[in-house]
Structure 1
Amino acid sequence: MNGTMSKWARAVAEAELSEPLPRRWAHSQGVAQRAADLAGVLGDDAELLASAAVLHDVGYAPRLAVTGFHPLDGARFLRDVHAADARLVRLVANHSLALLEAEELGLRDVLEAEFPLLEDQPLVDALIYCDMTTTPDGEIASVEARLAEITARYGADSLVGRFIRRAAPDILAAVRRVESALVAQPR
């Protein structure tokens, strides 16, 4: 990992999030740290994961919020303004089962057309793991605690609450697959 993409990604995320959304920036930094912990499992894709981890919530930046759906807004920003790596953009667009939330918003067709899912399950799982085991303040949490926190913050009957309820089985499965890979990793 030469670090060029991940240094660029960190600079972009910091520029967009650190001042207007310091808590979101803390979360993004925590997610990036979790990604660093997976470098041994991902090999050649470690830098791509680190970059997606720090950028996954860039679409929350107020100046980028066009549709109000942060995965789509962030991916469009990275594609259109930065001509970012296509795999990176697709990871940001589809992080943490975003298609299910897009469906709740009536944006699934748009998201799928512009940013098809990656067919690389270990990489997709790794980003879910990093995001769903990091608190809003950037601290490590169990996936169960993180899912409960999201539900409590947004409300069980909110759009996000409905999305999390639908996505929880797949989120839990992804986290378990990554945890198994970490255990199997040679020390």
Structure 2
Amino acid sequence: MADLIEEWAAQVADAELSCTLPRRWAHTQGVAHRAAEVSQVLHQDAGLLVAAAMLHDIGYAPRLTVTGFHPLDGARFLRDEHRADQRLVRLVANHSFALHEAKERGLQDELATEFPLLEEPLLVDALVYCDMTTTPDGDRTTAQDRVAEIRSRYGDDSVVGRFIRRAAPEIFASVERVEAALAAQPR
């Protein structure tokens, strides 16, 4: 079953991102690769993590842009056009502390109402870890360098800059929790 959701997610992400947004596609593939690496800490949810990693930025696809807020646009697309698994859709909608950015954009109520946060901390943390330890080009990085890169790219006074500054402590804490869970795994 896990292989099917991962394969489907890869096909959907490829169709929406690879030609129109090749750099975003490279990032997405890197995030999915990270998810495959850390999936052992999630056991039965390993396939769900990889699928969410593959689809987390689907809302950037030009044809899917409605609100301009990629977590919300992506989640609505997955829900409405694909009838995707509710947990998957909620992970995409809320990845990497999207609720903070939604607040900056005046979309907090919409996001929270349509796609409530999952009460599965390790799964949520794992997706944050994968996204925030992957560069825009799909390479491995630290969460600190990733946050600095985002701030540099968007500017501290932008919506994204304000969001990432507010979310940084939570991002770093998520990454630390995943790293601790990985370190606790038997070798």
TM range (shorter): over 0.9
Q: Which amino acid aligns with 1:40?
A: Q
Q: TM-score, normalised by structure 1?
A: 0.99
Q: Which amino acid aligns with 1:155?
A: G
Q: Counterpart of 1:96?
A: 96
Q: Can you give the 5+ residue segments of structure 2 that lack an aligned partner in the other structure? A: none
Within 5 Å, give how 1:146-157 maps onto structure 2: 146-157=146-157
> Post-superposition shift, 1:157?
1.0
Closer/same/farther in 2, CA of residues 48 and 2 from structure 1, 3 Å limit: closer
C-alpha distance in 2 between matches for 1:100 and 1:143: 17
Q: Counterpart of 2:122?
A: 122
Within 5 Å, give how 1:60-139 maps onto structure 2: 60-139=60-139
SS for the counterpart of 1:3 is helix
> Post-superposition shift, 1:60?
0.1
C-alpha distance in 2 between matches for 1:14 and 1:137: 15
Deviations 1:132-168 (A, max 9, x none): 0000000000111000000000001111000000000
SS for the counterpart of 2:82 is coil
Q: Which amino acid aligns with 2:127?
A: L
> Post-superposition shift, 1:39?
1.8
Q: Can you give the 5+ residue segments of structure 1 that lack an aligned partner in the other structure? A: none
> Post-superposition shift, 1:2?
3.9
What RMSD, in angstroms, separates the aligned Cα atoms of the two structures?
A: 0.6
Within 5 Å, give how 1:1-187 maps onto structure 2: 2-187=2-187
Runs of 4+ in 1 over 2 A off after TM superposition: none
> Post-superposition shift, 1:63?
0.1
Instruction: Give the total of aligned pairs.
Output: 187
C-alpha distance in 2 between matches for 1:2 and 1:165: 35
Deviations 1:28-68 (A, max 9, x none): 00000000001211100000000000100000000000000
